[in-house]
Amino acid sequence: MTVHDLVENAVTRLDEAGISDAAIEAAMLLGHLLDFSRAQLVLAAYDELGKETVRDFEEALLRRLGREPLAYIIGEQEFWSLPFKVTPDVLIPRPETELLIETTLQEMKKEGTGLRGPVLDLGTGSGAIPIVLALELPDVMVYSLDQSFSALNVASGNARFHNVQDRVRFICSDWLQGISCKRIFSVVVTNPPYIAGSELAHLQPEVRGYEPVSALDGGERGMEMIERIARQVPQALKRGGLFVMEIGADQEQYVLDLFGSIPELESLGVRKDYAGHPRIFLARRK
């Protein structure tokens, strides 16, 4: 069977299963197995493939048809135009989370803000957030907390791959509970679980069936972890320090009211994502 025939057959089956971007996904699956770029696959379109490659591709395709996320099958997800290793121990980085990083960098690079670090990330996952911040802020130390040893192992590997292991420190902690905070961070950033528990069953099968529930489930109203963070974050921020958090599209007013009740915080605001939905919450410590 040729590269072209194998990909075309996979595209048809993926389409029939209701999986969007079938052509892209089929090419990525085969490209991963052959270690080929998209351009190389095109050039090799009529090359014959060995039986072992066809068999391995079929096994990978069946996993995708079973709605296992493509990122877990190939073990990698692009974020910030960079590759990050992912496993079922970590949430797959989303494009919308890039706005969290963009907002943080914009605020830190403003003149006169005094936001020179260190930075604390809550909820490490794959390490995408702290690693990108370390890459973009070469003079800043970044600390990142996660309660999952497995997630921290994945993140540590990604930090080594991107050569920032000396400037990103990973700590096993249930949010801020496991560390002694003495208001030493100029920035605290987080993408917490914010999906209501009752909504989990309605998520895409790739998400509800494969991604770690602990990274998604925000409790009854999706606010349980956010409420914990709200109680703890003033202990970590320096005076004038910045807090940046990704939120759900329906949580704007609740988050503004919640953090507005905390006397140490001021300058509360919410920025919208590119689809016009409330997405990034910001606050400053007085």
- 206-257, pLDDT tens digit by residue? 999 999 999 999 998 899 999 999 999 998 999 999 999 999 999 999 999 9
Residues 19 and 98 both lie in one domain: no
Q: What is the CATH number of the domain that holds 247?
A: 3.40.50.150
* Phi and psi torsions of 235, nearest 5°: -70, -20
Q: Is residue 277 situated within a structural domain?
A: yes
pLDDT recorded at residue 83: 97
Residues 30 and 112 both lie in one domain: no
pLDDT recorded at residue 67: 97
Q: How would residue 181 be classed by pLDDT, with cut points 50, 70 and 90?
A: low
Residues 106 and 161 both lie in one domain: yes
- The tally of domains found in the chain comes to 2
Q: What is the CATH number of the domain that holds 44?
A: 1.10.8
Residue 235, token pair as written in the block: 């202990």
Helix axes 149-161, 128-136, angle to 10 degrees: 30
Residues 37 and 108 both lie in one domain: no
Residues 94 and 123 both lie in one domain: yes
What gap in Å lies between CA 127 and CA 169, rounded to an integer?
10
pLDDT recorded at residue 50: 93
Name the residue range of residue 39's domain.
3-66
Give the pLDDT mean for 119-132.
97
Beta strand residue intervals within 102-207, DSSP E:
119-122, 142-146, 168-172, 185-190
Residues 60 and 151 both lie in one domain: no
Helix axes 51-65, 22-34, angle to 10 degrees: 140
Residues 128 and 243 both lie in one domain: yes
Residue 251, token pair as written in the block: 């949580």
pLDDT recorded at residue 28: 95
CB hemisphere CA count around 189 (13 angstroms): 31
Q: Is residue 201 situated within a structural domain?
A: yes
Q: What confidence tens digit (pLDDT) does each residue in 65-113 have?
A: 999 999 999 999 999 999 999 999 999 999 999 999 999 999 998 876 7
- Pick the last residue of a domain from 37, 66, 95: 66
Residues 280 and 223 both lie in one domain: yes
Q: Is residue 202 situated within a structural domain?
A: yes
Q: What confidence tens digit (pLDDT) does each residue in 152-177 have?
A: 999 999 999 999 999 999 999 988 88
Q: Is residue 78 situated within a structural domain?
A: no
Q: Examine the pLDDT at 123 and tell me if it is beyond 80.
A: yes
Residues 102 and 185 both lie in one domain: yes
Q: Is residue 127 situated within a structural domain?
A: yes
Q: How far apart are the first and last CA of the chain?
A: 66
Distance of CA 252 to the CA centre of its chain: 20
Q: What confidence tens digit (pLDDT) does each residue in 36-51 have?
A: 988 999 999 999 999 9
Q: What confidence tens digit (pLDDT) does each residue in 127-148 have?
A: 999 999 999 999 999 999 999 9
Percent of the chain surpassing pLDDT 70: 99
